[in-house]
Amino acid sequence: MVDSSLVERARELHGHICPFVVLGLRASEIAMKRLGIEKAGEAETVGEEILAIVECNNCFADGVQVATGCTLGNNSLIYLDLGKNAVTLVKRGNWRGIRVYVDFDRLRSLYFSEDALKLFEKVVVKREGTREDQERLGKLWTEIGLSLASAPEDLFKVEEVRVAEIERAPIFESVRCEGCGELAMATRVREVDGKRLCLGCVGECEAVVGRGIVSSFKVPLSRGGRP
Ligand SMILES: [Zn+2]
Ligand SMILES: [Zn+2]
């Protein structure tokens, strides 16, 4: 059961309480317990000793980061763009992990009222909700999220997995771009017409956006204009 202080920390990071941020907390908690580990602290995050491998980039992923301490910035969060609500926790060294998968169909009738689902469809999917609808959905979603904090373990698919070794984040030298004059990681610099240019100047890069990882994403920044 996820305790309320952890839920509050999730609210701080994620901005709101919703079903999937809490499921991220709960799934992480189940995996951590099975693996016999606590939230990653200084030693674990500096050495990337514990990895959380998430398979989605939605609310669930924020729950995982809060509960496990494995984040995008400390390179202990690995993002597989599989579009599933699942997390695998693994310790470097033995590479035996615990994967916890959330199946929405198993939770739907137990936790989600028809009313809440219809409202979600209207407000979030179709973007047709009024302000009142939005507020009502926020309330319902928070309530459902809070009730999921004690979701029993047998509602989740929990399995032991072997994880192929994942490299620690390498340190690359920085190269100064001949277009903008800024430093960029050497692996993100291309030679174009004899000039070394950062991908910002080239104009395309890979990006994580709402739909997942997008390659050849047009860099959406332009200079000038007023803030
Ligand atoms: Zn959310
Ligand atoms: Zn540049």
User: Does residue 99 contact residue 70 with C-beta atoms inside 8 Å?
Assistant: no
Q: What is the pLDDT of residues 51-97, one digit of tens each?
A: 999 999 999 999 999 999 999 999 999 999 999 999 999 999 999 99
Tell me which ligand sits closest to the C-alpha of residue 219: 2
Residues composing the chain: 227
CA–centroid distance, residue 44 to ligand 1 (Å): 27
Q: What is 4-162's CATH number?
A: 3.30.1330.130
Q: What is the pLDDT of residues 162-191, one digit of tens each?
A: 999 999 999 999 999 999 999 999 999 999
CA–centroid distance, residue 80 to ligand 1 (Å): 19
Q: What is the pLDDT of residues 10-42, one digit of tens each?
A: 999 999 999 999 999 999 999 999 999 999 999
Output the CA–CA distances (angstroms, integers) from residue 166 to 53, 64, 152, in the order listed: 11, 19, 31
Confidence category of residue 227, pLDDT binned at 50, 70, 90:
low
Q: For residue 225, is pLDDT > 80? A: no
Domain boundaries, the chain: 4-162, 174-218
Contact partners, residue 183, CB within 8 Å, separation at least 6: 174, 175, 176, 177
Q: For residue 148, is pLDDT > 80? A: yes
Tell me which ligand sits closest to the C-alpha of residue 202: 2
With a pLDDT cut of 90, the percent of the chain lying above it is: 93
Task: Identify which of 53, 83, 63 has the alpha carbon closest to the alpha carbon of residue 16.
Answer: 63
CA angle 208/214/218 to nearest 5° reads: 95
Neighbouring-strand partners of residue 90 = 51, 97
The overall longest dimension of the chain from CA atoms, in Å, is 62
CA–centroid distance, residue 199 to ligand 2 (Å): 7
CA–centroid distance, residue 219 to ligand 2 (Å): 11
Neighbouring-strand partners of residue 50 = 91
CA–centroid distance, residue 183 to ligand 2 (Å): 8
Neighbouring-strand partners of residue 6 = none
Region of 46 (left: φ > 0; alpha: ψ -120 to 50; beta: rest) is alpha
- Three-class DSSP category at 124: helix
Confidence category of residue 215, pLDDT binned at 50, 70, 90:
very high
Tell me which ligand sits closest to the C-alpha of residue 124: 1
Tell me which ligand sits closest to the C-alpha of residue 57: 1
- Show the tokens assigned to 144: 């459902």
Quick one: average pLDDT of 121-137?
94
